[in-house]
Amino acid sequence: MATPPPPQQGAGPYPNPYAVPPVPPVPQQGAYGTHPQPGPPGCRLCGAWPAAPATVRGHQGMIVLMRFLSLRGPFCRDCGLSTYRRMSSDTLWQGWWGPLSLFITPVTLLVNLGPRAAFRRLAPPVGGFRPPLDPGKPLWRRTPALLALVPALLVLLALPALLVIGLVAGDDEPTTLTVGQCVRNVGDWSDQQLVVAPCGSADAEYRVTRLLQPGTTCADGEYYADLKYGPNGTATNCLAPLH
């Protein structure tokens, strides 16, 4: 008896219950299963690009103690400038209150100029998950900066002012007396202040009688003028009372 042939797939009115459905194609990976590489990190505060990896620092002096502050990036241009200006402004009025802080504060402010330059070189931020920070006013236009600059400017202006005052209103050189002049003493004899006066005036008290030579002395009743009133400060004049 002959064996009937097996039913053909798709033949007849009924589908074949043993037919295996086709397997969908599997997407092929790269040769080594590579994955896309992440891009450079965005700003830590707003997520925008481009961002610079920098650290902004601050300092607080507390008489005996002190605090060193820092905030590490990356920062976009606006968030970086805002952080730099805020921390530097706080340092200008919080950083001087201690013996060592007087030296640490200027160094901190100078170190922050490096991150500031890096932020200013960046393009405007884009693509963040939130708006970037407002940079605000420049540092030199903020109140703490102005308060810190006023004493510094006063010191800088005081030095040349004191020099000019010293040159203009310095101690006058003592007048070199000559024989025949009349003087009055506005000090005492231990600290003579001889001022030349007209011999006929009521202010004249003494007359210069002679310039002493080595080995000589003034006459009885005469006074000795200080050496500073002699030629080159090396000789003494004799002063005779007029009254």
pLDDT at 123: 95
Nearest-angstrom CA–CA distance, 120 and 135: 11
What distance in Å separates the CA atoms of residue 54 and residue 49, rounded to the nearest whole number?
A: 14
pTM: 0.51
- Which element (helix H / strand E) includes 113? helix 113-120
What residues does each domain of the chain span?
55-164, 182-241
First to last CA, the chain: 178
DSSP string, 116-140: HHHHHTSPPPBS-SSPPPP--S-GG
Mean pLDDT calculated for residue range 156-167: 74
Confidence check: pLDDT of 122 > 60: yes
Q: How far apart are CA 85 and CA 137, in angstroms?
A: 8
- Specify the pLDDT at position 33: 44
Predicted confidence (pLDDT) per residue in 50-89, tens digit: 999 999 999 999 888 999 999 999 999 999 999 999 999 9
Contact partners, residue 243, CB within 8 Å, separation at least 6: 205
Listed residue (198, 189, 180, 191) closest to 223, CA to CA: 189
Alpha carbons 146 and 227: distance in angstroms, whole number:
54
Percent of the chain as helix, strand, coil, to the nearest 5:
30, 20, 55
Residue 39 pLDDT class (50, 70, 90 cuts): low
pLDDT at position 23 is: 43
